[in-house]
Structure 1
Amino acid sequence: MEQVGTIQVRGYNLERTLSAIRSNGPSTTTQLTQVTGLSRPSVNSLMTELIGLGWVEVIEPVLDGQGGRPPQRFAFRSGAGLLLGLDIGVHRATALLTDLSGTVLQEREVAVAPDLLPPERLAVVDRTIAEVLAEHGRSAKEVWSVGAAVTGPVDAAGRTSLFSPLPAWTDVDLVAHLGATFDCPILVENDVKLALLAEHEWGVAKSARDIVYILAGLRTGAAAFVNGDLVKGHAGAAGEIGRLPVVRWHKAIGILQGDRVVADAADDAAAAAATFDLARRGDADARRLVRQYARAVATGASALVLTLDPEVVVLGGGNTPWSELWVPEFSAMVGRSVIRMPEVRVSTLGSDHVARGAIKLAMDQIVVTHLTGGVRPAHPQGVSGAKAEPMLG
């Protein structure tokens, strides 16, 4: 136990130092001691280890021509490896290839039929992965970590054994399937939870620690941060409040499908967009449907706000481009239902927000695997997913 504790403390300090370099850019030893609060000898020792692991490189000082020699600086080697983020949804599959800092290098999105069975859906995912790697001229061996998003509660083994909107997906072992291609950590998590991770890392929730995230699109779902930690629950089902019929989330998107709109719409997304567009042009019936939709989403959101008392509620998903039409009604209803009204923020991330959350999941996992020998640091960042084996090599 003492050895594990030492590894955790060392891993936490490595993670802390690396995070300082990633956040602040090339830094000197003096700057790192100020930011981390660690002693100079400790920082020097940690930097030696980070350089040896390939995470950090030394930027040699340039003489200033006045007899002085600037100190060395240390920079994060974001190009040392690749991360892969996957979003395996009902209607599409997305693959995102980034460097170690999360900068997008290649992206591909493919539409899929909602009734596609696992063998065909996995074949689409495999082709999409192969295409993004080939388009960037890289191989699977260069990927340091893979994060994947699926719909439904994800358990500790990375499986949606309780239920999933994906047909026959509860029996799929995605970690094992991807493991045939990648010799690196592979983590699977619920798509709404990963959308929240993306918001916390790159979006409107970046500074918050207590967050309720509402996905408002073809599906309505929720995820939460409490004191900076992603809430998963005992079996990964935390946030599935939409399963309660009284919440009406399972019918929310259907509210937007008035008879007049559906007649001309190709699918659910088109019907919703048509209703929002009519409402934007002042159509009274469409505006009534939009208000009803906002109230349906607000019902579940109010229950979560009362339960968790978040600092902020973030709204994301496919219906946010029309936020000016329904968010005021949503906020008003939540405000009438709760004790303390949190700030409501609308996501500014694009349609790849779930895949970006998968990148964040992969990013955090390589820190654990590389810096702590697979032992999560004593002060974790609150990210969890499928258990992965330490990277080989």
Structure 2
Amino acid sequence: MSSNHPKGSAEYINRLNKIKVLNLIRESREISRAEIVKRTGLSAPTITRIVDSLINIEQLAEQVGIGESKGGRPPVIVKFRGDDSYVIGIDWGRTHIYAILSDLDGNTLLAHDIKTNPTDGFEADLRLVSKIIEKLIFKSGVNKKKLRGIGVAAAGFHNKTTDVIEYSPNFNWENVDIRKPLTELFDVPVFVDNVSRVMAQGELMYGVGETYKDFVFINIGYGIGSGIILNGEPFFGFEGIAGEIGHNKIHSNAPAGIVCACGKIDCLECYASGRGISKLASEKLKYYPNSSLNKLDELTTQIIAEKAKAGDELALFLFNQAADYLGVSIAFIANLLNPAVIVLGGKVANAGSFFTERIRTVFQREVIQQPARSIDLIQSKLGNEAAAIGAVSLILNEVLNLRE
């Protein structure tokens, strides 16, 4: 449906009313037409016309039965029709590409995970992503006409105005356009955004958003970023690059600091990201000859986390240091934005309670707390699938706003 109607026109008002009703139906799971009238304040004939359109034209709602009568005509029950529309969500990572085929209810029907070579470059990864999408469509057997779109989550400074990733420290990309080639290949809407904001939007649509509409998602993975949700909407900033907390300086007077992938010195990512922790472990091994990390052929963040839980001195030092820096940085965000809650996600955030509890302790020490107001840190409900499910939510957001 076109959204190019002048504000105040009958078409524009009808579209806004239809969006309001569609979102209410989805959020309510099942709801009667009479209840929609009550909760929207719209007239019964208007609701009948809108719901009939959503059922017969947009095919985004369906009648599921008749409710129990409390006197008078029994209520007609409707629900969101998400199980007959499909979306592909891509988590385009530095070392892995994880893709899912999902319905609009967020149910994963098929998934594919493939390891990538970080040195291959954008074009090679793009070919790989295209093959994964083809494989998901073929293996699932879904009707391609019912594919609503493709969502992509990728690390980097995504400019919302130009729709390109201007720069990605994780990939060393510059001015990369993901949307255009995928749109041309598959002839469906394609939406791309920064991975941390995508994860936040996934939580809004399918996770903690059921309870909270104002939160900050902190993505602690290979890099570090945040997605900001204000009043149920993602916050982009002027050009779409809001939330880059991983590239805030954490040492102000260090004589010789660590050079970050972004080119600056002593960013949070240098000490608290998966990349940073692994790199520091390699550099500090010579000072810890008794560390069990010396016996390993490869120092991945996951292995270092396991050694930290087992009490290895170096591994524990690195994770404690990361937690301390994260606690202070997250408290700064909370003091600035005053969200209802902070959501921790990303693979490094899943290292273990020893890590997240230390982050929480430092956060609670540094954040401004009042007796009547308390901001807590909670874990992502979507876990390691947050980015892929969030990519699905990019398309759901377009559907719920009747833009696709």
Sort the Cα spacing of 1:310 and 1:29 in 2 relative to 1 into closer, same or farther, 3 A.
closer
Q: Distance in 2 between matches of 1:298 and 1:262?
A: 26
Amino acid at match of 2:382: L
Instruction: Assess, with a 3 A threshold, how the Cα gap between structure 1 residues 360 and 264 changes in structure 2: closer, same or farther.
Output: farther
Q: Structure 1 vs Structure 2: percent identity of aligned residues?
A: 25
For structure 2, which runs of at least 5 residues remain unmatched after alignment? 251-266, 286-290
3-state SS of paired residue (1:188): strand
Aligned residues: 365
How many Å separate the matches in 2 of 1:166 and 1:134? 29
Change (3 A) 1:295 1:71: closer
Pairing 1:305–2:306 present: no
Corresponding residue for 2:170? Answer: 165
Hey, what's the Cα distance between the residues in 2 that align with 1:294 and 1:364? 33
Aligned to 1:3: 6
After superposition, give the CA deviation of every residue in 1:249-277 in whole Å (9 maximum; x if it has no partner): 23324346252455444555x3x223322
Structure 1 residue 188: deviation in Å?
0.7
Which stretch shifts more, 348-357 or 3-12? 3-12
Specify whether residues 336 and 144 from structure 1 end up closer, same or farther in structure 2 by C-alpha distance, changes over 3 A only: same
Conserved in 2, the CA contact under 8 Å of 1:185 and 1:366?
Answer: no
Please give the secondary structure, in 2, of the residue aligned with 1:5. Answer: coil
Tell me the residue number matched to 2:263: none
For 1:164 and 1:322, the matched residues in 2 are separated by: 23
Deviations 1:6-56 (A, max 9, x none): 344322221222223223334332122233332211111111221222222
Counterpart mapping for 1:318-329 below 5 A:
318-329=347-358
Single out whichever of 259-268 and 32-41 deviates more from structure 2. Answer: 259-268
What is the letter of the counterpart of residue 270 of structure 2? H
Deviations 1:364-393 (A, max 9, x none): 11233xx3xx4xxxxxxxxxxxxxxxx5xx
Q: Is the 8 A contact 1:249 1:296 kept in 2?
A: no
Deviates more, 1:121-130 or 1:292-301: 292-301
SS at match of 1:352: helix
In structure 1, what is the Cα distance between the partners aligned to 2:43 and 2:297?
63
Q: Distance in 2 between matches of 1:60 and 1:255?
A: 55
The one-character-per-residue Cα deviations of 1:326-380 (angstroms, maximum 9, x if unpaired) are: 2222122223323236211022323221010111111011233xx3xx4xxxxxx
**d(CA) in 2 for partners of 1:195 and 1:4?**
32
For residue 359 of structure 1, what is the aligned residue in structure 2? 392
Q: Is the aligned partner of 1:274 residue 2:303?
A: yes
Please report how far the alpha carbon of residue 208 of structure 1 lies from its aligned counterpart in structure 2 after TM superposition.
1.8
The DSSP-based 3-state class of the residue aligned with 1:181 is helix
Between the aligned partners of 2:277 and 2:96, the Cα distance in structure 1 is 23
Query: Which letter does structure 2 place at the counterpart of 1:309?
Result: N
Give the C-alpha shift of residue 164 in structure 1: 4.3
- 1:291-347 deviation per Cα after TM superposition (whole angstroms, max 9, x unaligned): 112012223212212221222111111123333112222122223323236211022
RMSD: 2.6
Q: 2:247 & 2:21 partners in 1: Cα distance?
A: 42
By how many angstroms is 1:87 displaced?
A: 1.3
Aligned counterpart in structure 1 of residue 179 of structure 2, from 175, 200, 205: 175
Q: Determine which structure has greater relative contact order: mean sequence separation of CA pairs < 8 Å that are 6+ residues apart, divided by chain length.
A: 1
Structure 1 residues 315 and 143: alpha-carbon distance in aligned structure 2, compared to 1, 3 A threshold: same
Measure the CA separation in 1 of the matches of 2:380 and 2:221. 12
Taking the aligned partners of 2:5 and 2:130, their CA distance within structure 1 comes to 43
Shift of 1:196: 1.0
| TM-score, normalised with respect to structure 1 | 0.84
Match of 1:35 in 2: 39
The amino acid across from 2:62 in the alignment is E
* 1:112 partnered with 2:141: no
Select 1:331's aligned residue among 360, 368, 371. Answer: 360
Q: Which amino acid aligns with 1:367?
A: L
Take 2:209 and 2:77, find their aligned partners in 1: how far apart are those partners?
31
- How far is the alpha carbon of 1:160 from its aligned partner? 0.8
1:1-393 to 2 correspondence within 5 Å?
A: 3-6=6-9, 7-51=11-55, 52-59=57-64, 70-156=74-160, 157-167=162-172, 169-246=173-250, 247-252=267-272, 253=274, 254-255=276-277, 257=281, 259=285, 260=291, 262-265=293-296, 267-268=298-299, 270=300, 272-340=301-369, 342-368=375-401, 371=402, 374=403
Q: Secondary structure at the match of 2:362?
A: helix
CA shift, 1:224, in A, is 1.4
Instruction: After superposition, give the CA deviation of every residue in 1:91-133 in whole Å (9 maximum; x if it has no partner).
Output: 1112211122222111111111112211110011011111111
* 1:224-271 deviation per Cα after TM superposition (whole angstroms, max 9, x unaligned): 122332121112211112223325323324346252455444555x3x
**SS in structure 2 of the partner of residue 78 of structure 1:** coil
CA contact (8 A) 2:170 2:223 kept: no
Work out the CA distance in 1 between the residues paired with 2:68 and 2:323.
62
Contact 2:153 2:388 in 1 (8 A): yes
The runs of 5 or more residues in structure 1 that have no matched partner are 375-390
1:60 CA displacement: 6.0
Shift of 1:151: 0.7
Question: Tell me, what secondary structure is at the counterpart of 1:144?
Answer: strand
Secondary structure, aligned partner of 2:159: coil
